[in-house]
Amino acid sequence: MSERVLLQIKDLKKHFDLGKNKSLKAVNGVTFTIFKGETFGLVGESGCGKSTIGRTIMGLYNRTDGKVIYQGKDVHKLDEKGRFSLYSQIQMIFQDPYASLNPRSTVSEIISEPMIVHGLYKNKRERLEKVYHLLEEVGLNRDHANRYPHEFSGGQRQRIGIARALALDPEFIIADEPISALDVSVQAQVVNLLDMLQEEKGLTYLFIAHDLSMVQHISDRIGVMYLGHMVELTSSPELYSNPKHPYTKALLSAIPIPDPDIEEKRERTILTGELPSPINPPSGCVFRTRCPAAMDVCAEKTPAWQEIEENHYVACHLFEEKRQDSPSLKIKEKQHY
Ligand code: SF4
């Protein structure tokens, strides 16, 4: 299994210092592993820390504590040369394809820029050939190379963003809400494109989204985050058919089902209350102020991260008893496989 590991996040914390002894605990002790060739979906409401994790992996934020190990190397201990080389292997696709493309540059200049920075290809002609090739790979064509971002639709702009992310032939792509800003009709096209590119190039994805319906079809495994913590992690089919954590259940019950008969009959878990502030998170389980199953212990003790069924991890006191009743179950706290 270990030779398949591409990235390990170990007890990662990212706190932003706000002065006056206050800090915003954006990520507060998160552990997971991403394997080569898989798509790992990271899901949670806005402000849960998922995008901060993406940026900390890229080295755009320094960690507060914990480790980010990429291909066996701690990314925050790399020297300048090591980081530069890391950026050629890890690329990002951003949520807003318009804001992330320089409006004054042509598509060709936008896609060539990383090649120039990294000194790839001998001359302009070779770079241009690569640009043409990338445009065709993402479903555009070479005539688009001399146009400007404002001449394209949202879906086409996201395709340009994907072509730019592929310019250095990376092996790992962090897609930070890549379809959230797009029309529903275009979302599936972009997801299909990412799927096809993964198959062709053997890419690994970290796919960040705020809604479980967006990651269902593309993800092999999914991690659910709430207020800086990972609360559940398992395979995509298992998460949708057998969710355990009350927060995951609430997220799933918010997804509309297209069949009106099923939709009318099914039970819903409606979350009440506001998302607490990550500056002053609740004691014990951070979800307790909105959890329909909260108990006294939830305010006193932080639930342990544990494997309650094979490859199914949850942090919730509801499952602690089950753990004690099942000594045969191999509990691997703070590991994700
Ligand atoms: Fe709810 Fe308690 Fe489980 Fe937290 S630990 S999710 S508050 S039951």
Could you tell me which residue, 188 or 225, shows the higher pLDDT? Answer: 225
Q: Percentage of residues in the chain with pLDDT exceeding 90?
A: 69
Count CB atoms within 10 A of the CB of residue 335. 15
CA–centroid distance, 271 to ligand 1, in Å, is 13
**C-beta 288 within 6 A of ligand 1:** yes
CA–centroid distance, 229 to ligand 1, in Å, is 13
Is residue 1 scored above 60 in pLDDT? no
CA–centroid distance, 292 to ligand 1, in Å, is 8
Q: How confident is the model at residue 120 (pLDDT cuts 50, 70, 90)?
A: confident
The confidence score (pLDDT) of residue 322 equals 53
The confidence score (pLDDT) of residue 213 equals 83
pTM here is 0.90
Overall average pLDDT of the 263-287 stretch: 83
Overall average pLDDT of the 165-187 stretch: 91
For 28-61, give the DSSP string.
Answer: EEEEEEEETT-EEEEE-STTSSHHHHHHHHTTSS
How far, in Å, CA of 18 to CA of 24, rounded?
7
How far, in Å, CA of 122 to CA of 116, rounded?
10
Q: How confident is the model at residue 49 (pLDDT cuts 50, 70, 90)?
A: very high
CA–centroid distance, 288 to ligand 1, in Å, is 5
How far, in Å, CA of 258 to CA of 273, rounded?
27
Pinpoint the alpha helices (H) of 118-269: 124-137, 154-166, 184-201, 212-215, 236-241, 246-253, 260-265
Each domain of the chain, given as residue ranges in start order, spans 2-238, 242-331
CA–centroid distance, 281 to ligand 1, in Å, is 14
Is residue 315 scored above 60 in pLDDT? yes
* Ligand 1: nearest atom to the Cα of 231: 6
**C-beta 254 within 6 A of ligand 1:** no
Could you tell me which residue, 163 or 210, shows the higher pLDDT? Answer: 163
CA 145 to chain centre: 30
Which residues does residue 15 pair with via DSSP β-bridges, in sequence order? 25
Q: Domain 2-238, what fold?
A: Rossmann fold (3.40.50)
The confidence score (pLDDT) of residue 263 equals 66
Count CB atoms within 10 A of the CB of residue 232. 27
Here the tokens at position 28 are 């507060």
Is residue 337 scored above 70 in pLDDT? no
Overall average pLDDT of the 173-178 stretch: 93
Name which residue sits closest to atom 7 of ligand 1, judged by CA.
288
State how far the alpha carbon of 87 is from the alpha carbons of 3, 170, 174, 197, in Å: 22, 8, 12, 19
How far, in Å, CA of 198 to CA of 311, rounded?
24
**C-beta 138 within 6 A of ligand 1:** no
Which residues does residue 230 pair with via DSSP β-bridges, in sequence order? 225
The confidence score (pLDDT) of residue 29 equals 95
CA–centroid distance, 226 to ligand 1, in Å, is 12
Query: Under a CB-based contact definition with an 8 Å cutoff, are residues 225 and 272 in contact?
Result: no
**Cα-flanking dihedrals φ and ψ of residue 279, to 5°?**
-80, -35
CA 182 to chain centre: 17
The confidence score (pLDDT) of residue 99 equals 81
Name which residue sits closest to atom 6 of ligand 1, judged by CA.
316
The confidence score (pLDDT) of residue 39 equals 97
CA–centroid distance, 214 to ligand 1, in Å, is 25
How far, in Å, CA of 208 to CA of 128, rounded?
31
How far, in Å, CA of 39 to CA of 221, rounded?
7
Is residue 324 scored above 70 in pLDDT? no
Query: Under a CB-based contact definition with an 8 Å cutoff, are residues 45 and 226 in contact?
Result: yes
Is residue 200 scored above 70 in pLDDT? yes
Please provide the average confidence, as pLDDT, over all residues in the chain: 89
Nearest C-alpha neighbor of 27 from the set 18, 16, 14, 17:
14
Nearest C-alpha neighbor of 294 from the set 280, 282, 306:
282
Highest mean pLDDT among 97-106, 127-136, 176-185, 206-215: 127-136
Q: How confident is the model at residue 2 (pLDDT cuts 50, 70, 90)?
A: low
Name which residue sits closest to atom 3 of ligand 1, judged by CA.
316
* Ligand 1: nearest atom to the Cα of 317: 5
**C-beta 291 within 6 A of ligand 1:** yes
The confidence score (pLDDT) of residue 331 equals 39
Q: Percentage of residues in the chain with pLDDT exceeding 70?
A: 91
Query: Under a CB-based contact definition with an 8 Å cutoff, are residues 176 and 51 in contact?
Result: yes
